[in-house]
Chains A and B, each alone.
Chain A
Amino acid sequence: SAVISQKPSRDICQRGTSLTIQCQVDSQVTMMFWYRQQPGQSLTLIATANQGSEATYESGFVIDKFPISRPNLTFSTLTVSNMSPEDSSIYLCSVESFGASGGANEQFFGPGTRLTVL
C-alpha cells in the first residue's frame, strides 16, 4: 500500500475564489485519481491524472473548473476554481496499486480535504 497525504485537510473559502489541493504519495505511481464526496455518500470521480499527459475528466467535470497538475510520479494538485457553495464537499485523491490481489486494480486514498464555500 501507499501512504498518501493531502493539504490542506480543510478550508473555508469565499465564493469566487480558488483553492488548490495538494496530494503527495510516498512512492512513484502512474495513475492518480481525484474524487469528490458529500459526507456520508459515495465517491464521484472527477478526473484521472497521469504523469506526462493531460488529465482525463469525467462527464460533468471540466478542466476550466478543476484544473489538475501532475508534475511528477509522486505529486498532483487539483484546483477548484471560481468556487460557489455548491462546491462544498470532501475532495479525495487516490493512487492505484496493481498486483497485490491477482493483478486487481486496488486504490489507496488520501485523508481528504473538506472544503466549505461561503
Chain B
Amino acid sequence: TQLLEQSPQFLSIQEGENLTVYCNSSSVFSSLQWYRQEPGEGPVLLVTVVTGGEVKKLKRLTFQFGDARKDSSLHITAAQPGDTGLYLCAGEGGGTSYGKLTFGQGTILTVHP
C-alpha cells in the first residue's frame, strides 16, 4: 500500500506570510497532483507534476516534485485570505494502482486578514 504523508495538518497564518506544505512517501509516484477544496465544493486540481525535480509556478504558488519522485512541496508566497481552504496532495502509481490516486491527509490552511 502506498502512503503519502502530508504536513502540517493545520496551518493558521496572517495575511502576507509565506508557507510550505509537504507531501512525503517511501514510494515512487509517476505523477503528483495538488488540489484545493473549499467548503461545500469538490477538490479542484491546481497542478500536476510529472518529472523528478520539476518546479511549476501558479501565480504565488510554487510546486516542486522531488528528484526521486517520492515527495513534493507546495509553497505559497504572501498568503491572502482567499487562499484559505483544504489542500490535498495525491500521487499516481502504476501497476496494481493503475488509475487510482493515493491522497495525503490534507492541510487545512486559514489565512487571517
A residues at B contact (CB < 8 Å): 1, 4, 31, 33, 39-43, 45, 48, 92, 94, 96, 100-112, 114
Known: A104-B30, A104-B31, A104-B92. 6 other contacts (CB 8 A): A40-B106, A101-B31, A104-B33, A105-B92, A107-B101, A109-B43
Cβ of B62 under 8 Å from chain A: no
Q: Do residues A109 and B33 form an inter-chain contact, with CB atoms below 8 A?
A: no
Q: Are A111 and B31 in contact (CB under 8 A)?
A: no
Q: Residue B22 at the A interface, CB < 8 A?
A: no
In the bound assembly, the distance between CA atoms of A80 and B43 in angstroms comes to 22
CA distance A105 to B45 in the complex (A): 12
Establish whether residues B45 and A108, one from each chain, have CB atoms under 8 Å apart when the complex forms. Answer: yes
Contact call A41/B105, Cβ cutoff below 8 A: yes
**Pairwise interchain contact A110-B48, C-beta atoms closer than 8 A:** no
Which residues of B55-113 have CB atoms within 8 Å of chain A's CB atoms?
Answer: 86, 88, 90, 92, 99-101, 103-106, 108
